[in-house]
Amino acid sequence: MLSKVVQNTTKNLVQQTKQSVSVKRMVMDALYKDDSSDVHFKATHLSPRQPLAGHKGKQVTEGNRQWQSTKLSNGITVLSESTGVPGAVDMGILLNVGTRDETVESSGSLLSIKNTYMKTLLNTNETINYGMVQMTGGHFEMKYDQETALFHASCLAHDTVDIFNMVADCALEPRSVVASQVGQSKNQDTHKLDSFLKTGEHFNEALFQTAYGLQGLGMPLKGLKGNIDNLTSYNLQKFQLENITPNRMIVAGTGIDSHEEFVQLVTEKLGFLPATEGSQVLERAASEYRGGEVRNLNESNRLDLALVFQGVNWSSEDVAALNVLRTLLNGQRIQTNLLNKNHFIDSAEALNFHFSDSGLFGLRVSGSSANGKQILDSTIGELKEIASQVSQSEVEAAKSALQVSVATALQRQCDRLEEGVKSFNQYGEVKIQQYAQQINSVTADQISNAVQRLLQSNPTFVVEGNNANNLPSFDQIRNSLN
């Protein structure tokens, strides 16, 4: 037995020796050893401060980026933008689901999903997902608003398949018991942090709830604090099954070399999802603007007030005009007319929100509570002055600033993906290239007329401070706007 072991060991050693002293290998080493004419030798021995003689780099000409869309048989829309310059790929899954689709019972579901967006069980887990993102050198995030939720990732082109599969799992996998429990804990911490940092989230919630009531667009972005314990795995899965359906899903990518290959990738991963038909299609309830007032008394010597009106939806012709007006106000006019003339005003900003069937526009101003009435009068006066007259020079300056801001954002591939997919979700086509033309067509008269129409709606007035109840009544405010 021992002799066989010795024989086998000796045989293996002999074979290894033969391989190491291979004649062919010795000849090849002799021929190419220190071959200074070889391009690999030059590249490894040349000083990095000197150019490599005879080396010609590859030049890539930026191509025209084009958007293409395909609708799968189950209702999922695949949207892609062709690559301009080879590099990173941005892709995401847009769900036509927002906080307006939550109810009092499911409020906070999207925040819970956001707080646990990397947690999966079926194919991978949170650790693997995090490691994949780190190894690709990209990023992965989930964001949501009143009407949409977006799972967005970026990576190098050769990692597209793996990263897309991960994004799809994170976006569509039913929330597990572990994920729901972690979500409840993180939701609690989110509300505590907002209260500690005084982020103004509660003020924004009061503003939207006053404008729309506790439903639809009035539902809080971070959910009702009292509903956190109700966000169990059962209720989260119920919310997902009712709202996340193929007909409300757009898979988008930018920097995609082949739209057909991207469609095939999506089909292989999500083609098994059944189409939503008939009574299964959940119709989103239309928003109802109400207006009204809310006065929150506190011990602060600082007064925060917002006076807003019913704005316009994304399909309105006044969208560009109100965005130019917001830029005009936040750029110079507020500084000149409110901050410089009134020492008791600390800050002011124009608010402008657009949704699929409604909108809000107005001013938010903060300052000394002792001068609350003067702050309110200045706010009303600024709105009425805009409705009566705006100089064309101010409008032109605001248009230029807004065009630069939009053009800069659209140069970033990640921003272009988000804006493109949301544009397609709203209009059925990508209209981001039309923004510059729409902005350029805005006139001073169009802005004044748009503001006049806004002021005819029932105002929404929200104020916080120790002097909130001493301000003029809601009827007095409404009458002063006429």
Is residue 65 classed exposed, middle or buried when 0-12, 13-18 and 19+ CB atoms within 10 A define those classes?
Answer: middle
Is residue 370 classed exposed, middle or buried when 0-12, 13-18 and 19+ CB atoms within 10 A define those classes?
Answer: middle
Which residues of the chain are under the pLDDT cut of 50? 1-2, 5
Would you say 285 and 346 are in contact if contact means Cβ atoms under 8 Å apart? no
Is residue 449 classed exposed, middle or buried when 0-12, 13-18 and 19+ CB atoms within 10 A define those classes?
Answer: middle
pTM of the model: 0.85
Q: Which domains does the chain have, with CATH numbers?
A: 67-273 (3.30.830.10), 292-480 (3.30.830.10)
Side-by-side strand order, sheet with 67-71: 67-71, 77-82, 249-256, 88-95, 149-156, 139-144
Would you say 304 and 471 are in contact if contact means Cβ atoms under 8 Å apart? no
Beta strand 359-368 pairing with 345-354: antiparallel
Around 341, how many Cα atoms within 13 Å sit in the side-chain half-sphere? Answer: 15
pLDDT at 114: 97
d(CA 291, CA 471) in angstroms, rounded, equals: 18
pLDDT at 341: 93
Would you say 209 and 462 are in contact if contact means Cβ atoms under 8 Å apart? no
H or E segment and range at residue 220:
none
pLDDT at 12: 60
Q: Nearest-5° angle of CA 35, CA 38, CA 42?
A: 95
